[in-house]
């Protein structure tokens, strides 16, 4: 079995989703704030750059980006 860096994989997937939707970090922060999460551009940039965000954060992101789990192809 291949030894993957799962943090890097998570980061690449979320960055790819944001790029496909042409969403910037500040726009993601605004959308997350609208559902009651306190996120800023800097907090999101930090989480994504580390790739150590929780699965719950990932689900919140795809929720506010209106992505169906069936649309995820990785």
Per the structure, the count of domains in the chain is: 1
Q: What is the DSSP string of 8-65?
A: HHHHHHHHHHHHHTT--HHHHHHHHHHTT----HHHHHHHHHHT---HHHHHHHHHHT
Contact (Cβ atoms closer than 8 angstroms) between residue 31 and residue 65: yes
Sequential pLDDT tens for the chain (74 residues) = 578 889 999 999 999 999 999 999 999 999 999 999 999 999 999 999 998 899 999 999 999 999 876 667 66
Q: Which domain holds residue 53?
A: 6-71
Residue 53 lies in a domain: yes
This prediction has a pTM of: 0.85
Residue 1 lies in a domain: no
């Amino acid at each position: 079995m291949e030894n993957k860096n799962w943090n890097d994989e998570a980061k690449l997937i979320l960055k790819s989703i944001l790029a496909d939707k042409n969403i910037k970090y500040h726009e993601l922060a605004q959308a997350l704030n609208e559902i009651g999460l306190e996120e800023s551009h800097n907090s999101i940039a930090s989480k994504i750059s580390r790739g150590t965000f929780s699965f719950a954060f990932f689900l919140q992101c795809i929720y506010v980006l209106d992505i169906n789990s069936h649309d995820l192809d990785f």
